[in-house]
Amino acid sequence: MKTVGDKLDHFKVVGVKPGFNHHEEHGQSAFEDITEKSFPGKWKIIYFYPKDFTFVCPTEIVGFDKLNKEFLDRDAILMGGSTDNEFSKLGWRREHKDLDKLGHWSFADVTGSLIDQLGVRDKQAGVALRATFIVDADNVIQHVSVNNLNVGRNPDEILRILDALQTEALCPCKRQPGGETL
């Protein structure tokens, strides 16, 4: 499993844009490839959940979405995904009233390449564990948390951790004269 201090390697997943419920709206596609080069200069909150159309997952997704503006205010892009395809994600948005016009990115990792790169696939079920990665603007992992399939997350805690990480990144308190880090 990749951990704090590791850099994201190349990956490509299909992103489902915020606010879309259909594969095309107003002449624009709902889909866009997301790679490690997407969102330059931004922090990324990458969270995984096991499957679309489940009972626990929407509560977490809605919890993250309620904080989306706060993540954006901190130059962080919020993106949640599973191994289900992009059409499943749109269908779930249409079917579940709380996911209608979801305000942050969803992603489909149908090959499991990102899940496997990060080492968060449940070996028995074959799906993603409930993993959360906070990745800085240089694509270096700054935080990892992984829960079992049946244990949800607290999105407020992820925001608190992001605040602490960004404060630490700006804090000169660990630097000695001459710029060396303690």
pLDDT tens for each residue of 54-104: 876 689 999 999 999 999 999 999 999 999 999 999 999 999 999 999 999
Beta strands in 22-138 (DSSP E): 24-25, 28-29, 31-35, 43-48, 76-82, 105-108, 130-135
pLDDT at residue 110, rounded to an integer: 97
What parts of the chain have a pLDDT lower than 50?
A: 175-182
68, HSE (Cβ side, Cα atoms, 13 Å) = 15
Active site residues: 57
Helices (H), 47-112: 57-66, 68-73, 86-95
| Bridge partners of residue 25, in order along the sequence | 28
pLDDT at residue 171, rounded to an integer: 58
| C-alpha dihedral (141, 34, 19, 49), degrees to nearest 10 | -50
120, amino acid identity: V
In 10 A of CB 173, how many CB atoms? 8
Global pTM value: 0.91
